[in-house]
């Protein structure tokens, strides 16, 4: 099945704001995490069956320091302190991909920022690959 992109600005956002002041994003903007620990972006993604999926997080980090993120799927930790390092500017976007097991149907993928300065700017989550058909029309 084709990969499906979920825009961060359409997700559930806590301690972050939707912004569009740095170009190169998809959709209508991106999420700018507050510069404080504990913010998150929670995506609801649909899988056609249980199995591994690739989760691609598109981000920008215009600072010189890491902006780590924690990833949970359906409340269970998948990655903690995953590094999201400098991308060379706030308009330079990169994608970091991890693999996680999804259940059939709706899944919550929460991307939390544990660091003192919050997360990188987050553009989207692309779900694809693996054994999972990520859209019902596939
Ligand atoms: C700058 C930048 C924001 C970014 C912020 C940060 O203000 O314009 O897009 O989110 O730095 O450090 O998180």
Q: Report ipTM (2 d.p.).
A: 0.98
Instruction: With cut-offs at 50, 70 and 90, classify the pLDDT of residue 134.
Output: very low
Interval between CA 89 and ligand 1 midpoint (Å): 10
Whether 138 is covered by a domain: the verdict is no
Number of domains composing the chain: 1
Does some domain include residue 133?
Answer: no
Measured CA to CA, the distance from residue 67 to residue 114 in angstroms comes to 9
Handedness of CA 78, 83, 89, 90 (dihedral sign): positive
* 95 found inside a domain: yes
Residue 2 confidence (pLDDT): 75
Ligand 1 and 124: CB distance under 6 A: no
Question: In this structure, are residues 17 and 96 in contact, taking their beta carbons and an 8 Å threshold?
Answer: no
Domain carrying residue 23: 4-128
Residue 32 Cβ inside 6 Å of ligand 1? The answer reads yes
Domain-located, residue 134: no
94: domain CATH number? 2.60.120.260
Residue 136 lies in a domain: no
- Mean pLDDT, residues 104-133: 90
**Residues 32/19, Cβ–Cβ less than 8 Å:** yes
Q: Please check whether residue 135 lies inside any domain of the structure.
A: no
Does residue 10 fall inside a structural domain?
A: yes
d(CA 88, CA 64): 8
In short, whether 22's Cβ falls inside 6 Å of ligand 1 is yes
For the whole model, what pTM was predicted?
A: 0.94
Cα dihedral sign, 7-35-23-59? negative
- Give the contacts of 21 (CB within 8 A, at least 6 positions apart): none
Does 41 reside within a domain?
Answer: yes
């Amino acid at each position: 099945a084709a990969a499906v992109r979920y825009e961060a600005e359409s997700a559930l956002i806590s301690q972050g704001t939707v912004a569009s002041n740095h170009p190169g994003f998809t959709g209508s903007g991106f999420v700018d995490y507050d510069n404080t620990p504990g913010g998150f972006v929670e995506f609801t993604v649909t899988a056609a069956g249980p199995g591994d999926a690739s989760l691609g997080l598109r981000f920008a980090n215009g600072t010189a320091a890491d902006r780590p993120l924690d990833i949970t799927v359906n409340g269970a930790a998948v990655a903690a302190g995953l590094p999201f390092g400098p991308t060379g500017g706030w308009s330079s976007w990169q994608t970091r991909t991890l693999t996680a097991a999804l259940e059939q149907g709706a899944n919550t993928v929460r991307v939390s920022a544990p660091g003192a300065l919050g997360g990188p700017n987050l553009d989207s989550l692309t779900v694809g690959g693996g054994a999972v058909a990520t859209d019902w029309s596939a």
